[in-house]
Amino acid sequence: MTTIASNLREMAGDTRVVLEGIGTDSYASVKIFVAKNAIYGIHGENVAGQIHAIDWLQQGSLAENRPEPPKAADWHIMELSPAGLAVYNTWLERDVLLNKYIAIGSGRKVAMYCMKILGMSPAEAVREACRVDDFTDMPIYTVSLTDLAIKLWRPKK
């Protein structure tokens, strides 16, 4: 799956994609996207239709243009905007969160612990998930609400 983590300022995501029949059944891809003043992170078991959802969000999220997900789709999209955090299900129903940080994907519990208990940034939390979750791997990309430019994360030494 993946690990995407966010607080109210920034989002970070790993790059490991596991998909049988492509390369060695694993490859690297950026899983965070920007649309206007919001940031989106994606994860899922069956991500069919997910990029159509990202395109829809980037084009303004008009209800009449909302794509219908394929029957077997199983994914979520996390949103960070100036208004806070939200998640979308495969039907693109938006659920606003009251949390100050959240993580999605197979390494989410490690990332949540790192942010909540250890006070780590989203990128640091994803790095820790990379250490224990077989479906999460480096490199990590980040984006903040103040910049909205997706960047390769380089940890401080």
Q: For the chain, what are the domain ranges?
A: 3-143
Average pLDDT (94-108) is 96
Question: What's residue 140's pLDDT?
Answer: 98
144 phi and psi angles, rounded to 5 deg: -120, 155
- Do residues 105 and 2 lie in contact, with contact meaning Cβ atoms separated by under 8 Å? yes
Q: Is the pLDDT of residue 142 over 90?
A: yes
Question: What's residue 51's pLDDT?
Answer: 83
Q: Where are the alpha helices (DSSP H) in the chain?
A: 50-58, 108-116, 122-132
pLDDT band for 50, please (50, 70, 90 cuts): confident
Question: What's residue 157's pLDDT?
Answer: 75
CATH 3.30.360.10 for domain 3-143, yes or no, is no
Q: What is the rounded CA–CA span in Å between residue 53 and residue 65?
A: 10
Question: What's residue 45's pLDDT?
Answer: 83
Q: Is the pLDDT of residue 81 over 90?
A: yes
| Alpha carbon distances (Å) from 140 to 23, 31, 65, 91, 129 | 21, 10, 32, 28, 11
In the DSSP assignment, the letter for residue 63 is G
Q: Which residues, 6 or more positions from 113, have their beta carbon under 8 angstroms from its beta carbon?
A: none
Q: What is the rounded CA–CA span in Å between residue 109 and residue 114?
A: 9
